[in-house]
Structure 1
Amino acid sequence: MTYFNLINPFTLTPSLGFLIVWAVKICVFYPLTFWGTFKHLGQRHVPFVLYLMIALVAFFLPFNFLLNDYLLITLMISLYYFFANHSGETLTDLVATFSFSALLDYLAFLIGSYGLGICKVLFSFAGTPLYYLLVNFLVLISYGIALLLVRVLRPFFQRYLARLRGQHILAEWLLSLAFLPLSYYLYYAQYNHYLMQSPTMLTGATFHNASPVQIRAIALLEVIIYVLLVLLVMELVSRYLANRDRANFADYRLESLTRYTSQLEVMNDDLRRFRHDYKNILYSLTSALETNNLEFAKRSLAQLSAATNKSIDVPTGIIGPLKNIQDAGLKAVIFNKISTAMEKKIALQVEIVDPIDFNKTMEPVDTIRIVAILFDNAIKAAASAPQPRLDLSLYENEFAQFIIVGNSTVHQVDLAALDHASQTVSIVNNHHLGLRNLRIILARYPGASNDRRAESHWFEQRIIIPKRQEKAN
C-alpha cells in the first residue's frame, strides 16, 4: 500500500487527452474542493494565486495518497496563514477551521464514492457513458455534498470555536486531528476499490458473504457514525470547557465584588469614626473658645487638622467615578485592579464622567478580559518606572465605546516590535503579555481596534468598540 507518491504525469499519461483530463481533475477539481470547503466554512476570501500554487504542486504531488494529502493540507494552511491572513487570525483557529473542512471533504467524498458504487450495482449502468461521466466528475459531485454539509454544520462549528477560541488551545489542536482517521479510511477504501477487492479487510468474516451493496452501505454507515461521534465529542468538550470558564468567571466576579464591598464597608466605618471624632473635636474647640482657653483651642484645632488629613487618605477620588460603571462585575474587577496598583504605590487617575454600559457592545466576559489584560500589563510596567503612574478613562460617543489605559514605562516602547510580538506564540515582555489574547478578543467584534501610542516614557492603549447598529424597521 503506497502512502506517498511523487509522479511525473508527462511520462505516465498514455495520450494528450488523458493528460488534459488528469490536469483538470488534479489541478482544478481538488484545489477547488479543499479551498472551497474551507472558504465557505470559515467565510473567508481565498486569493486566486493560492488556488494556482496548490494546483501546480498537486500536478506532481497529487491528492489521494495519505502523506500527499497531509503535506498539501499543511502547505495550504501555511500559505493562507502567511499570505492571506489579513484579519490576523490565530494559527490555532485556522488549523481548526481547515481541519473541520477537511473532515467534511472526506465525508462528502466517501458519500459520493459509496453512493455511486451502490447506484452502479442497483441500476446496472457500469461501463455506460453515464457511469464514466459520473466517475470523472465525482470530485465535483462530492464538492456539492460538502457544501451542503457546510451549510448545515457551519452554525455548530462557529459555536464550537466561540467556546474555545483563545482560551483552550490544546483542546482545539487535539480536536482538530479528528479528520486524520477519516483520511486514512478514505485512502484504505480507495486502495481496495472502495472495499470491493478485499471486503473482509473491513471487519473480518462478518461480511464474507455480504453483497456489494450491503458492504458499501455498512461501510458508509460506519463513516457517518464516526463523524457523528466526532461532532458529539466536539460539542461535549466545548460545552464543558465553556461552562467551566463561566463558573471561573463567576467566581472571579464574586471575589472582586466581595473585595469591593468590603472596601466600601471599611470606608463607611472610617467615615463614621471620622464624623464622630470631628464632632467631638468641634465641641471641644467651641468650649475652649467660649472659655478663652487658647491652648486647648490650639490642641483641638491640631487634632481637627490631623483627622482631616487622615480622611483625605481614603481614595474616594479614585473609587468615586466607578459608580458610573453599570456592570457590577466590571466595576468590581476594575476596583480590584486599582487596589493592586495602589498597593504597589502607583499614582492613579480614573476618569469615568458619564454612566457607561459595555454590555451593549461586548459580552461581559470579553469586557472583563480586555480590562484585566490592559491593567495587568500597565501595572507591571508602571511598577518599574521611576515615576509610577497609571491612568484609566472610560467613555462613549454616538458611535463607539472607549477603554483607555495609559502607564509610565522605564524605556520607550517600540510599537513596531510590540505589534510583531503580539502575533507570536511566545510573549514574555511587559507589554507583550496578553496582547495576543487581546487581539483575539477584539477580532470577534467587527470594526474593533486597539490604537497604541508611545512617547516620552509613556505608553497608552486605546480600545475602540463600535456600537451595534440597530436595523431599521
Structure 2
Amino acid sequence: MSKQYAEYRFFKHDYKNILASLEYAIQTENMHDIKETYYSVIRRSQLLLPKETMLQLSQLSDIQLRGVILVKYQLAAEHSVNITLSVDKLFDNTSIEKDIDFYRVVGILLDNAIEAVSLTTDKKVSIIFSKDNEIIIVNSYQENIDIHRIEELGYSSKNTHEGIGLSFITRYTMQQPLIEHCTIIENRQFIQKLIVG
C-alpha cells in the first residue's frame, strides 16, 4: 500500500470526526485547534488532489458538483483509474444547484464508470461538460450489458450488485422535466449523458 493511499484511507475514515472537531473549534473560537486541524490533516489531504491543470474545475461554478468530481477522482486513484475532465465553456446551471439528488445521480454514474474500467486494460474515464449543457461520462467496459434492461430495478450486470443505481436515476429524471438521461453503447464505449435544460 502506497503512503499516499494510506493517508487517503486515514483521512476518509476520520472525516466526520475531523469535521465535528473543526466545527466545535469554530464555535468556541479556538484558533489554535482550527490551525492544528488545518495543518495536520486538511492541508495534508491536499496532496491527494489533482493539479488544476489536470481537471478544469474552475470552469464549474457549482461548488457541490466540483466536490463530487474531486471525491470520485480520489476514488478512481484508488483503483488506478485515470479521470479526465473537459469543459467546453463555463458550466453554470442554476437549475441543478443544491439539488442533492442530482449530485447523487452524477456520483452513481461516475461510480459505475470507475468500477467498469477498473476491470479493463484501458483504465480511463472521461467527463465532458459540453456547450449544449450536457454532462457526458465515457468509459470502456468488459462485462456484457443489456442496454434495454439497465434501468430496471434489480437488474445489474455485476453479480454482487442490487441494481438500484440506474433505476434511481430513471426515477429522478422522470420527476425532473429539465433533466434527461440517455445511455449509448458505441465502439465498446459506454456513454452516459445527462442533458440539463
TM-score, with normalisation over the residues of structure 2? 0.67
Q: How does 1:123-134 map to 2 (within 5 A)?
A: none
Q: How does 1:335-374 map to 2 (within 5 A)?
A: 335-361=70-96, 363-374=98-109
* Partners of 2:84 and 2:125 within 8 A in 1: yes
1:455/1:267 CA distance change after superposition, 3 Å: closer
For the residue of structure 2 that corresponds to 1:410, the secondary structure is coil
Residues 124-181 of structure 1, C-alpha deviations (whole Å, 9 max, x = no match):
xxxxxxxxxxxxxxxxxxxxxxxxxxxxxxxxxxxxxxxxxxxxxxxxxxxxxxxxxx
Q: Distance in 1 between matches of 2:148 and 2:93?
A: 29
* Partners of 1:405 and 1:460 within 8 A in 2: yes
Q: How does 1:130-169 map to 2 (within 5 A)?
A: none
- Give the match for residue 465 of structure 1: 196
How far does residue 391 in structure 1 lie from its aligned partner after superposition?
Answer: 0.6
Q: Distance in 1 between matches of 2:116 and 2:79?
A: 11
Count of residue pairs the alignment pairs up: 157
* Residue 181 (structure 2) pairs with residue 450 (structure 1): yes
Residues 13-44 of structure 1, C-alpha deviations (whole Å, 9 max, x = no match):
xxxxxxxxxxxxxxxxxxxxxxxxxxxxxxxx
* Residue 45 (structure 2) pairs with residue 317 (structure 1): no
Structure 2 gaps, min length 5: 1-15, 21-37
> Which structure carries more strand by proportion?
2
For the residue of structure 2 that corresponds to 1:356, the secondary structure is coil
Q: Which ranges of 4 or more aligned residues in structure 1 deviate by more than 6 Å?
A: none
For the residue of structure 2 that corresponds to 1:404, the secondary structure is strand
* Residue 90 (structure 2) pairs with residue 376 (structure 1): no
2:177 alignment partner AA: P
Q: Sequence identity, in percent?
A: 21
1:441/1:412 CA distance change after superposition, 3 Å: same
Q: How does 1:367-446 map to 2 (within 5 A)?
A: 367-397=102-132, 401-418=133-150, 422-424=151-153, 426-430=154-158, 432-446=163-177
2:76 alignment partner AA: A
TM-score, with normalisation over the residues of structure 1? 0.30
Structure 1 gaps, min length 5: 1-250, 269-313, 467-473
Q: Distance in 2 between matches of 1:263 and 1:323?
A: 22
Residues 346-371 of structure 1, C-alpha deviations (whole Å, 9 max, x = no match):
12221023221233346531221111
1:352/1:263 CA distance change after superposition, 3 Å: farther
Residues 247-291 of structure 1, C-alpha deviations (whole Å, 9 max, x = no match):
xxxx7xx89xx9xx74784389xxxxxxxxxxxxxxxxxxxxxxx
> Which structure carries more helix by proportion?
1
Task: With a CA cutoff of 8 Å and minimum separation of 6, indicate the structure with the bigger relative contact order.
Answer: 2
1:354/1:346 CA distance change after superposition, 3 Å: same
Aligned Cα root-mean-square deviation (Å): 3.0
1:439/1:363 CA distance change after superposition, 3 Å: farther
1:326/1:455 CA distance change after superposition, 3 Å: same
How far does residue 447 in structure 1 lie from its aligned partner after superposition?
Answer: 5.0
Q: Which has the larger radius of gyration?
A: 1
Q: Distance in 2 between matches of 1:433 and 1:318?
A: 32
